[in-house]
Structure 1
Amino acid sequence: MRALSYSAYGDPGSLSLTELPTPKVAPGAVLIQVHRAAVNPVDWKLMAGGLDGMIDVVFPVVPGWDVTGTVAALGPDVPEFQVGQRVAAYARKDVVSGGTYAEYVAVPATSVAAVPEGVSDEAAAGLPLAGLTALRSLEALDPLGPGDTVLIHAASGGVGHLAAQLAVAAGATVLGTASEANHERLRALGVTPLSYGEGLPDRVREHAPDGVTAVADFVGGVLDDTLAVLRPGGRHVSIADPGVAEAGGRWIWVRPDGARLATLLRLVAEGSLRVEIDRVFPLAEGAEALALSRDGQARGKLIIDVTR
């Protein structure tokens, strides 16, 4: 099969288009013929060796944890899916090796969800990691409801724009930080936009004089601002700063979860959750997509079309 892979830690330029064996399909697993994969910051962080102390790596590595495609084969005892069915998955495994920037990927069935009619390949590929991260973060806030005012750091980002929509749908009042260029995008989602940086606590209190009841941090480096605006007894989570645990918060690391992914896909199909797509690259240009993600130049999800 065609795949983008790297044989040692490095930068996106280390990726090469190669021919690798099609993955085997273990019991309880699904072999997906990949239509689209999505780029996430964790892909280039893994590639640079940033998580070497946490996750085992077997080279050559095919990067990518987000996927949508069709079921090509089933391992023993997987009655919930059928060959030819359209599916998506957050395809993280215990060992980094066989990812989604390839024509085929094998994934545990518990990580897989059927894709409803009306959901594009691009949206289905861009949703799993970011959407599940957003959902798990909000669930850790116990959950949000009409009585809450929540501050979302990096509300226009890949995870933040999904969390913002989910929080608004739950009835919470949502304040979100973003660059001024993205303020109109947040207003369109029902979010009150705030510029990030120095003076943020004062800007928050202009809209929430008594502080906020919850904070979701999707950028890191903002713990002092979080604590400055959080009401006594408030809840806060971060996906980027493990130090929140020492300040009474939760550090979130998303888990593969096919059932929760199915819930998110239904919301997309119903039109109540939108996945913003920046651009789509053919497989051979995947290194360019990773470089754009690393350099912070994307406005929305970067998608790899593995069929091209």
Structure 2
Amino acid sequence: MMRAIAIEGFGGPERLQPTDLPQPTPGPGEVLVKVAYAGVNPADWKAREGKLSRYFEYKFPFVLGFDLSGTVAAVGAGVEGVNPGDAVFGMSKQGQGENGAYAEYCLAWPAMLAPLPPAMSAAEAAGLPVAGVTAYGGLVDAGALKAGQTVLINGGAGGVGSLAIQIARAVGARVAVTCGARNADYVRALGAERAIDYANEDVVAAVRDWTSGAGVDLVLDAVGLDTLLPRATELVKSGGRFVEIETLISAASKEQVAAAAARGVTILSNMVAVMRQPEHLAGLAAMCAAGKVRAAPTEALPLADAAEAHRRVESGQVRGKIVLEVAAQ
């Protein structure tokens, strides 16, 4: 048996309860990871509330947690390139309806694991996978960002935004972000050229001023809630793209997509690139290993405080990442 935090049904943070569950055994093509830290993402509280039911089937008791760092405990038949004892970070199989990383052990696909980056702690690495893969896929794959282009990251101080700034700079792009005034110095230190105070500035006017009236080549919307979507064509130049993160509560209507297309702007979901997540994780890991991307500020809470971690992440006011300490190694 193993310790875990699980839910018996959908609902609020109070649904997260300690429990004992059988330790999983890796089947063919699977890896068993002894979890050191589990990352906490907005997708986690949405999964807790049942908002991700369209993507996978829940089997209760259900263990949440997409992100993990830890040590490979065992591998199933046919697994190559990953060996017991390897220090890794990556993603659990929660996205396929399997139990996630809020437990002492969980299963993962080998393609969704990468070596722990040098000079990065296991706690820091546990906050990278979902946010980093989302940022990398949204910018480099769905967004087709190139050196010399301009990008606006909506929500630059959060988990996705903090990594997206660095990934965009590593690609060679110029970066502007929206953030609260208190986070302006933080995002500039990560590489943002322009920090736009969304509470006190007109975002479109600020972007137009920054780009000499042209608009940006790409918007990556890491906030959702339709905060910028209605003004997509005012922000993005003809031939550019507006990438939504589908698991955020934001979705362009057919009419909005058509109207934008008529003005030469493509609105699309980051999910168009979801099948290439292993490539995105490998690209992220390479940038981390090269020192081009560093972990966001990371706060570790005990596994037993999973409900408190959810409350804080759900508030939308967390700078950087919160992770849960399962069994520090």
How much has 1:144 moved relative to structure 2? 2.2
1:145 to 133, 144, 147: 147
Residues 1:234 and 2:240 aligned together: yes
How much has 1:233 moved relative to structure 2? 1.4
Match of 1:64, SS state, is coil
Q: CA deviation digits over 1:258-279, x for unaligned, max 9?
A: 4432332232233221111341
- Listed as ranges, the matches of 1:1-308 within 5 Å are 1-139=2-140, 140-146=142-148, 148-191=149-192, 192-197=194-199, 199-208=202-211, 209-220=213-224, 221=226, 222-239=228-245, 240=248, 241-243=250-252, 246=257, 247=260, 248-253=266-271, 254=274, 257-307=277-327
How much has 1:78 moved relative to structure 2? 0.8
Q: TM-score, normalised by structure 1?
A: 0.94
* 8 A Cα contact 1:89 1:258, kept in partner: no
Higher mean C-alpha displacement, 78-87 vs 198-207: 198-207
Counterpart Cα distance in 1 of 2:223 and 2:65: 21
Counterpart Cα distance in 2 of 1:179 and 1:40: 20
* 8 A Cα contact 1:28 1:75, kept in partner: yes
User: What do you get for the CA RMSD once the two structures are aligned?
Assistant: 1.8
Counterpart Cα distance in 1 of 2:111 and 2:188: 36
Higher mean C-alpha displacement, 63-72 vs 295-304: 295-304
Question: How many percent of aligned residue pairs carry the same amino acid?
Answer: 37
Match of 2:58, SS state, is strand
Q: CA deviation digits over 1:254-301, x for unaligned, max 9?
A: 457444323322322332211113411111111111111112232110
Q: Which runs of 5+ in 2 are unaligned?
A: 261-265
Counterpart Cα distance in 2 of 1:183 and 1:28: 45
Higher mean C-alpha displacement, 39-48 vs 109-118: 109-118
Q: Which runs of 5+ in 1 are unaligned?
A: none
Match of 2:37, SS state, is strand
Counterpart Cα distance in 2 of 1:166 and 1:11: 34
Counterpart Cα distance in 2 of 1:258 and 1:30: 15
Match of 1:117, SS state, is coil
Indicate the residue corresponding to 2:263 in structure 1: none
Counterpart Cα distance in 2 of 1:149 and 1:14: 43
Q: CA deviation digits over 1:161-195, x for unaligned, max 9?
A: 11111112222121110000110011112211001
Counterpart Cα distance in 1 of 2:59 and 2:276: 20
Higher mean C-alpha displacement, 242-251 vs 206-215: 242-251
* 8 A Cα contact 1:31 1:104, kept in partner: yes
* 8 A Cα contact 2:124 2:298, kept in partner: no
Match of 2:59, SS state, is strand
Q: TM-score, normalised by structure 2?
A: 0.88
Residues 244/71 of structure 1: CA separation in 2 closer, same or farther (3 Å cut): farther
Question: What is the number of equivalent residue pairs in this alignment?
Answer: 307
The one-letter code of the counterpart of 2:146 is L
The one-letter code of the counterpart of 2:220 is A
